[in-house]
Chain A
Amino acid sequence: MAKITYITHNDEKHIVEVQNGLTVMEGAVQNDIPGIDADCGGGMACATCHVYVKDDWFNKIPKKEDGEDDMLDMAFEPKTNSRLSCQIIVSDELDGLEVNIPSKQA
């Protein structure tokens, strides 16, 4: 279980408890947090669950695997701290994670 803070582009904070093993994307979708579309359902095939991970967390969470950066090329306004939230799997170590949701997914 990890407490995750999703911050929307207009600075609304949504803090939810997400079960271990789910992805950060699923945590958002299941809790109706706006701004994460996840069109492909978690297949790393659409780049519509794009989030920015706060710098101190970015280096702590598991690194990107092959293909994630390729999809991020297509995301809306990617930055150096961009991730696809469907590729971040929740564990106890992620307790306190904060992610920012971009103004748009496409």
Chain B
Amino acid sequence: MIKTDALIIGAGPTGLFTAHQLKLIGLDCEIVDNLDKIGGQCIELYPDKPIYDIPAVPECTGEELTNNLLNQLKPFDIKFHLSERVEEVKKDSDNWLVKTSGGNSFQTPNVIIAGGVGSFEPRKFPPKECEKFENKSLFYSVKDKNIFKGKTVSIFGGGDSALDWAVELSKESNVNLIHRRDEFRGAQATVSKMYKLKEAGKINLFTKYQMANVHGEQKVETIDIKHDNNDFKNLKTDYVLGFFGLIMQLGPIANWGLNLNKKTIEVDTEKFETNQKGIYAVGDICNYPGKLKLILSGFHEGALAARACFKLARPDEKYRFEFTTTSTNLLKRLGKKE
């Protein structure tokens, strides 16, 4: 059981700056994120796209913003728990008990949800039948490539993941690559490599086709793919891989007894607290009259939620407002003064 003053769910820009604010006022915190990297939507959706509306930063990409925020956190020691999804949040007298998919448990008076639009999950094949084979012979990521040795693998998608695996697996497997159009959005070098392998008969390429159905008893045996012109093909296959990127899902947050409005959580604008005492929501996931889904709003919301955390984490102390320019306390925490 990990005890902390505040647990932040989400390592996007809002979660990172909220951590900064907590540490600055002398609270400790840990951060959990379902992604395997820090940065949230900035890193997952638009790492290379410039952002022009961060105050005092005329232009920066999602990746640069994330790196700058991490730099700002350097004076502090913050523990990140990546590739873990928060599954359960339960009341335990004055604390919340939080459990993650990675087997970690936290005891904390404050939970700050900075979850964007939920956690990132792989996008799945539309046909319902696919669920039955999921994680057995149909996958959305590769954990152990050795299982494909000598087998037929049908790979769907047109991006880098699909292309990289088609090229890699073609060495020791029979590969079908299926994509809904003729253009591929992966790196040009990989696209060329894939076409060469196709010429050499190492990859069977099916463009303008999409998944229509899967057949099999215990494992996938064949799949139907459908052409834009409504022609069907049936392919024998041992495994199916789908690479359609990630989508944000609210996931378990929906079960924590919070007031929800579509995919957002209702909060007050003083503490950014939800209807549950000690649970806050900041950034894109929170909702209140006039809410703007901008990164700058997330920073403000996180700063106020952090102050609210102080009361529950240090009930016997009084929070005093201080500036980083003048406060010896704050400068010490920032490592600028002995």
Residues of A within 8 A of B (CB): 37, 39-41, 43, 45-48, 69-70, 73-74, 76-80, 104, 106
With CB as the reference atom, state the residue of chain A lying closest to B116.
Answer: A39
**Can you identify 24 A-B contacts, CB atoms within 8 angstroms?**
A37-B263, A39-B248, A40-B41, A40-B45, A43-B45, A43-B49, A45-B41, A45-B46, A46-B45, A46-B247, A47-B245, A69-B183, A69-B185, A70-B158, A70-B185, A73-B158, A73-B179, A73-B180, A73-B244, A74-B123, A74-B244, A74-B247, A76-B126, A106-B249
B101 to chain A, nearest CB (A): 20
Residues of B within 8 A of A (CB): 41, 45-46, 49, 117, 123-124, 126, 157-159, 179-181, 183, 185, 210, 228, 244-245, 247-249, 263, 293
Among B179, B210, B247, B249, max chain A CB count under 10 A is at B247
Number of A-B contacts (CB under 8 A): 53
Beyond A78-B210, A104-B126, 13 additional pairs, beta carbon < 8 A: A39-B117, A41-B293, A43-B45, A43-B49, A46-B45, A69-B183, A70-B185, A73-B181, A73-B185, A74-B244, A77-B126, A78-B180, A80-B228
B136 to chain A, nearest CB (A): 22
| Residues on the B chain within 8 Å of A37, using CB | 263
A36 to chain B, nearest CB (A): 11
| Residues on the B chain within 8 Å of A104, using CB | 126
Give which listed residue, A45, A70, A79, A106, contacts B123 with CB less than 8 A: A106
| Residues on the A chain within 8 Å of B41, using CB | 40, 45
CA distance A45 to B117 in the complex (A): 13
